[in-house]
Amino acid sequence: MSVVLVTGSSGLIGSETVEFYANLGYQVIGIDNNMRETFFGPQGSTIWNRNRLMKEFKNNYTHYNLDIRDISAINQLFQKYQSNISLIIHTAAQPSHDWAAKDPLMDFGVNANGTLHLLEAMHKYSPDAVFIFTSTNKVYGDNPNTLPLIEHKTRWEIDSNHIYKNGIPETMSVDQNKHSLFGSSKLAADILVQEYGRYFGFKTVSFRGGVLSGAKQSGVQLHGFINYLMKCVMTNTPYTIIGYKGKQVRDVIDSRDVVAAFHAFYENPKTGGAVYNLGGGRESNISILEAITLAEQITSKKLNYTYQDTPRAGDHIWYISDLTKFKSDYPKWRLQKNIQLIMEEIYEQNKIRWQS
């Protein structure tokens, strides 16, 4: 019996992962204690998604209401399944750099200590498993903001002749810059994942994500940029643009394309702590101003928004992932959805629920 273990299994990427492997016939076990509601309030709750998964995949999905900070509970779970665990996909996290400043101890406990608990449990009980970690582009801190960016009408951009014209590569330094406390805790986890790969020869990988999006996300003001923006337009909820004239750029990737990248690595894993940037790249990126315009076109509604001139600490002005390394190692993987298709799907799948 091959078991896939997914942390954060009721969240956007976690639930997409559960669906993918359950549909392939794997026995899937999920860990999620709805901490997203603790972080972001009732709108952040993922209970609805947990219940959906348990109903749709009752034959091969088992849910555990565990906290990854509880090392005893994590060890007991790994001990139960041991060598049957062939794949661990770790998506559980405190995901907001604004929230992290409110409670750095909890942020670090979830993001860094929780990751260490999972790695050490794998070390003890499931050393042959593949370990996939959803890291973040925030590990680069604000180094991307030192690039020579050019201001255009609706976005900041980099010169077409610049070495980073295809996006930020994995070789950008993560050192000596402002990360935010969230970026720091995720960087600690990222390095731990690498080190367990390098030191013990385990099959580990850190995927440094851009904006991971999709219709199943419980988007909130502090996390889930595209999903939350669409929800604000659809429900006439006031929205605040924070800094950089709304011209800051993000690359956006659909949750199913993320899981497809996970599976590509699982089928042909590397030892020694692999690292890949993963986002929409040059194929799927957008500024806040451009996203507002597109959301209004899709919904035929106008967004009620205000502007706050002071940017968020450590926020990126321009971030596009360079996908060259991952595409080179896994040439069969391709993006299936761009930003317009992602936003259209968010609208179609949520228009009844959000506008009722």
pLDDT tens digit sequence for 250-300? 999 999 999 999 999 999 999 999 999 999 999 999 999 999 999 999 999
User: In the predicted model, is pLDDT for residue 356 greater than 60?
Assistant: no
pTM assigned to the model: 0.95
For residue 321, the cross-strand partners are 168
Where in the sequence is the domain holding 196, given as residue range(s)? 3-355
Residue 240's pLDDT is 95
Residue % of the chain over a pLDDT of 70: 97
Neighbours of 18 (CB within 10 A): 31
Q: Which ranges of the chain would DSSP assign to H, the alpha helix?
A: 12-23, 35-40, 47-56, 71-81, 97-100, 104-108, 114-125, 180-200, 225-235, 255-267, 288-299, 324-329, 339-355
> How far is residue 129's CA from residue 266's CA, in Å, rounded to a whole number?
9
> How far is residue 261's CA from residue 267's CA, in Å, rounded to a whole number?
10
**Residue from 250, 218, 232, 254 nearest 341 by CA:** 254
Span 302-348, pLDDT tens digits:
999 999 999 887 789 999 999 999 999 999 999 999 999 999 999 99
Q: Checking DSSP bridges between strand 61-64 and strand 85-90, what pairing results, if any?
A: unpaired
> How far is residue 192's CA from residue 313's CA, in Å, rounded to a whole number?
25
Neighbours of 84 (CB within 10 A): 15
Looking at residue 47, which CATH number applies to its domain?
Answer: 3.40.50.720
Q: How confident is the model at residue 352 (pLDDT cuts 50, 70, 90)?
A: confident
Span 64-74, pLDDT tens digits:
999 999 999 99
Dihedral angle of Cα 215, 218, 223, 225, to the nearest 10 degrees: 30
Q: Checking DSSP bridges between strand 61-64 and strand 27-31, what pairing results, if any?
A: parallel
Number of domains observed in the structure of the chain:
1
Span 227-247, pLDDT tens digits:
999 999 999 999 999 999 999
Q: Which residue shows structure tokens 């050393």?
A: 127
Residue 350's pLDDT is 86
Count the helices and strands in the chain (H runs, E runs): 13, 15
Phi first, then psi: give them for residue 4, nearest 5 degrees.
-105, 125
Chain centroid to CA 23: how far?
22
